[in-house]
Structure 1
């Protein structure tokens, strides 16, 4: 089985924000795409950690390859196969102390991300066409 077979709910990345304020947020990311929660310490760290999951699984496939001269010392716990990730119940039951939302990246074109963010605390769904637009949406809703 490959990650291209994942449907939208199982490929979503649930962001559970436990602390927000002063322009910062921190918490954990849950998903059926990972084997354990991924901690993040701020919005930049959140995007880097999510990008590592996308890169590790090559899903969605990037249209451009980035290069790096150093490797990460603590790689994300990306699942090698969907059956190895967190259970759907574990992901669904995860909620942040401050805010909870899900990010679904549907494509990675123009060296950025495109997709949707679902505001699980009642504000609906919004599309984004770049990582910068996603950052702005998160800042508007959470910080």
Structure 2
């Protein structure tokens, strides 16, 4: 975990879970590059909103450009180290009513995320968003 805190803290999401009912997960999400937390009523909302944050940061860079009939936000160019508002230590203080997870997004290839989930100092790797949701679901069932 420490290697990610020192090298890519802007790619980390602190996911604080307040309620869990099957795949219905609600709570708050934090990232060091945004000043406010993201309140979410569904895990898919976090994914969509964090994708926009990553697009704005330019890191991790998406491997594909979104196409739409509606005008969308500009995708910013790659940034090696986007500016941050808070340190990881401050983010780690946030806890959910049920659990808290740290998600590190290493890449966004093939229109999905690759990375790892940390819970109680154990690392779980995922290669798709669906894998990540399955990991979160199995960990939440144990909580």
TM-score (norm 2): 0.78
Structure 1 segment 18-57 matched on structure 2, within 5 A: 18-57=18-57
Shift of 1:115: 0.6
Give 5+ residue unaligned stretches, structure 1: 1-5, 73-80
Shift of 1:70: 5.3
Does the residue aligned with 1:142 lie in a helix, a strand or coil?
A: helix
Deviations 1:107-138 (A, max 9, x none): 1111111111111xx26111110111111111
Shift of 1:10: 4.6
CA distance in 2, matches of 1:88, 1:129: 24
For the 8 Å contact 1:28–1:39, the answer to whether it is kept is yes
Structure 1 segment 22-101 matched on structure 2, within 5 A: 22-68=22-68, 69=70, 71=72, 81-83=82-84, 85-101=85-101
Residues 1:126 and 2:124 aligned together:
yes
Aligned length: 128
Deviations 1:38-68 (A, max 9, x none): 1111111121122121112121111111123
Shift of 1:11: 3.1
Aligned residue in 1 for 2:104: 104
Deviations 1:78-120 (A, max 9, x none): xxx524x23434202111111100111111111111111111x
Q: Which moved more, 1:123-132 or 1:100-109?
A: 123-132
CA RMSD of aligned residues (A): 2.2
Does the residue aligned with 2:92 lie in a helix, a strand or coil?
A: helix
TM-score (norm 1): 0.78
Does the residue aligned with 1:82 lie in a helix, a strand or coil?
A: coil
For the 8 Å contact 1:112–1:131, the answer to whether it is kept is yes
Aligned residue in 1 for 2:114: 114
Residues 1:7 and 2:42 aligned together:
no
